[in-house]
Chains A and B, each alone.
Chain A
Amino acid sequence: MGWFIAHISLVCFGASYAVAWALELSQLVRRNKAGQFLSFGFVVAGLLAHTLYLGYRVVENSVSPLSSSFDWCLVAAWLLVGAYLYLSWYYPRAALGVYMLPLVVALVVAAAFADRTPFDTPGASRVWGAVHGIALLIGTLAVAVGFVAGVMYLVQARRLKRKLPPMPGIGLPSLEWLEKVNSRVIILSALMVGVGFLAGIILKLVAQPGAAQLPWSDPVIWSSALMLGWLVAAALFNGIYRPSRRGRKVAYLTVVSFVFLVVALCVLLLVNTGHVGQKSHPQALLAPGTLGDRS
């Protein structure tokens, strides 16, 4: 059993999710029960392998689930799969997989390219690192869910405006529900990214008490700050300007939020800024956080 778990790789569950996504897409062309069950089976199998993989990393490598960019991406993907399964149970006839599974696959692919070196956050910084990482994780998931809900809203609204009947078995949730989800995730994501950003600043101050000022030239920091600025503006706009809570506007807000998120994540994962606090780069700051590095 141990040998089996040790040989689970990213490809195992990444491919599972990709196949499930392909099966969901095939349902758009021809709906059949077997394809639905198969798709669900692949997602569950992928989630199982994914869980075992994360568990094995924690136990064998003595690393906490958010201790590197690699782990952070995998935990985000894992939570997104959980959200997908929950929403599929809530809306069994909706084609949620078509919209949510590509994000899961993208996060697994991002993990494959992400740095596996644990963050270097000694002593008191660990608490702030944990707050930083968890808050940004929740914020990221909220933006991702909002994006999916926003896209589904636009697709559904377009169908209704064009007076087309729904495709049986692969409908979408109602506009009212999608709008509610969008409104809530805008506030949640602004709040969580704000907390994560603030925790990052405190983390910096705790880790380097003598530092004169924050390194604003760091692309990760300014892209994160830009995203936070947008999210706060969107949340305020949504709260103050009444029609913005209606219809397509809120969907557009969440879709644009996602664009900011993608930019921030690309900068974090692809640009070597030294931001993520690897041992070779002691200036840990606005990175996905840490729950304690025991390696």
Chain B
Amino acid sequence: MKLQMIGCSHHNSPLSVRERLAFSPVQIGLALDGLRERFPLSEAVLLSTCNRVEIYTASEDPEGTPSHEQVAQFVADFHQLPIYEIFDDLFERTGDDAVRHLFTVAASLDSMVVGEPQILSQVKAAYELAKDRQSAGPLTHGIFQTAVRVAKRVATETTLHQRRVSIPSVAVGDFARAIFERFDDKKVLILGAGEMGEETLRYLQDEGAHDITVINRSFERARELAQRWQGQARPWEQLPAHLTSADLVIGTTGATEPIVTLAQYKQIEAARYQRPLFILDLAVPRDFDPAIGDRLGVYLYSIDDLQAACQKNRHDRDQELPAAIHIVEHETARFMADLHHRATAPIIRRLREGWQQPKDDELRRLFNKLPELDETSRREIAQSFDRLVNKLLHPPLESLRSEAEKGPPHGLLDALKRLFQLKD
């Protein structure tokens, strides 16, 4: 039996490489078909996200599993790239390392932002697609199902996933959500067209926000951003009016002076009727006068404010990591022990069959010699023989089980084969 993972991730490959090796959802389906065709004895699952491309293969017969070179060649052929350009970027994990790697990935311990929740659904989707394409099998089923369970254990038994560490995720998850119960009825105002503003918008849209207005000094850029986020662009002159009606404001302009001063805010304050206003000032220098944050109903956060919260979360998360790693290690050991024990199943079956035959022969001989035995006595004797066989088999099977917990029990299996003359 062989399990392996070959792929690349944000740890060892730059974005330029990952982009070239990435598979779109349609391409994943085609790649899985290709893998099944080229390596018919191997199961395969392909996980492709913006941070990683990983191909998991597994086969009962080690000969049926593709080698590192073969998988690299497959990826190169699929993307029509020379293999030498990608070979060094693809790393390999086999056996328990591959299992541990998948568990770590699914539990989001290997993510760029540790604890981000999307990866688990991506792992699930990768397995579901492989199942639909019939490239997954019992081995990959076992490892992916366990990976999902491990990820859930890490999520419930540690607070790792509750610690957000990126500024937009902290802003939305830890602060905006503590102010607003829902976002689908809130007005979001974006000032400027900064990259972090877009990332924040992504989080807000995930929460249900859809009423988005973009205001920028360049109306063209505002319109571009608004189109991308299905919002509306408005001219710079309408800023006070939109500031009055907004619930969430994200400032990302490149202005060198605050674009909203305290005096300007006071002019619109009365018209807001103290309605809560969440201001996320991601601009450097700041777009909003910090004194605005002292006004009633205003919750103003600058990059520095959120950075402090991120640092604290990062520190708290680091303290949670050992517990999460312990869960992954424990589950990996358990999974491998189960796997090794499962590999001994054919030998155990043959061992039992080997003892069954003489037992049946002896019973038949005994019953022929003692025809006066009634049905009850015969049943009792048969049960005694069964118990005897089970008791005799118990020590070698127990030894096999405990050996399987340490690794593949090849030596013991060979010994059993030779001692009991079990043939393959």
Contacts and interface: CB of A to CB of B under 8 A. Distances in A.
A165 B313 contact: yes
A219 interface: no
A246 B297 CA distance: 8
B180 A176 contact: yes
A294 interface: no
Interface stretch (A71-79, A167-175, A184-192): A167-175
Contact of A168 (B163, B182, B276, B293): B163
B179 A163 contact: no
A161 to B, nearest CB: 7
Contact of A163 (B156, B182, B309): B309
A174 B179 contact: yes
Contact of A165 (B177, B181, B293, B312): B312
Contact of B276 (A33, A164, A165, A176): A176
B299 A242 contact: no
Residue of A156, A161, A168 with highest tally of chain B CB at under 10 A: A168
Nearest to B160: A168
Report the interface size class on chain A.
20 to 34
Contacts of A164: 309
B162 interface: yes
A175 B174 contact: no
Contacts of B299: 160-161
Interface string B156-191: 110100110000001000110111111000000000
B178 A160 contact: yes
Contacts of B181: 173-174, 176-177, 180
A86 to B, nearest CB: 17
B145 interface: no
A160 B274 contact: no
B162 A242 contact: no
A168 to B, nearest CB: 4
Given A160-B175, A171-B178, A247 B296 contact: yes
**What is the size category of the interface that chain B forms with chain A?**
20 to 34
A159 B308 CA distance: 14
Contact of B177 (A159, A174, A242, A243): A174
A110 to B, nearest CB: 34
B305 A168 contact: no
A160 B159 contact: no
B368 to A, nearest CB: 62
A166 interface: yes
B84 interface: no
Interface in A21-50: 31, 33
A171 B170 CA distance: 14
A149 B182 CA distance: 18
B301 A246 contact: no
Interface in B115-138: none
Nearest to B311: A165
A172 to B, nearest CB: 7
B141 interface: no
Most buried by B among A169, A171, A246: A246
A50 B306 CA distance: 46
Contacts of B309: 163-165
B350 interface: no
B178 A174 contact: yes
Interface in B268-316: 273-276, 293, 296-297, 299, 301, 305-306, 308-309, 312-313, 316
Contacts of A163: 175, 301, 305-306, 308-309
A157 to B, nearest CB: 9
B282 to A, nearest CB: 14
A177 B181 CA distance: 6
Contact of B174 (A31, A165, A173, A246): A165
Contact of A169 (B159, B179, B275, B313): B159
B293 to A, nearest CB: 8
A212 to B, nearest CB: 49
B315 to A, nearest CB: 11
Nearest to A161: B299
A248 B299 CA distance: 13
Contacts of B297: 246-247
A247 B156 CA distance: 34
Given A159-B178, A163-B305, A176-B181, 14 more contacts: A156-B178, A160-B179, A160-B299, A163-B175, A163-B301, A163-B308, A165-B170, A168-B163, A173-B181, A174-B179, A174-B181, A180-B181, A243-B274, A247-B274
24 contacts: A33-B156, A33-B157, A159-B178, A160-B178, A161-B293, A163-B305, A164-B309, A165-B170, A165-B312, A165-B313, A169-B162, A171-B178, A172-B178, A174-B177, A174-B179, A176-B179, A176-B180, A176-B181, A177-B181, A242-B273, A243-B273, A243-B274, A246-B276, A247-B276
State the 4 A-B residue pairs at the shortest beta-carbon distance, nearest first.
A246-B274, A168-B162, A176-B181, A165-B309
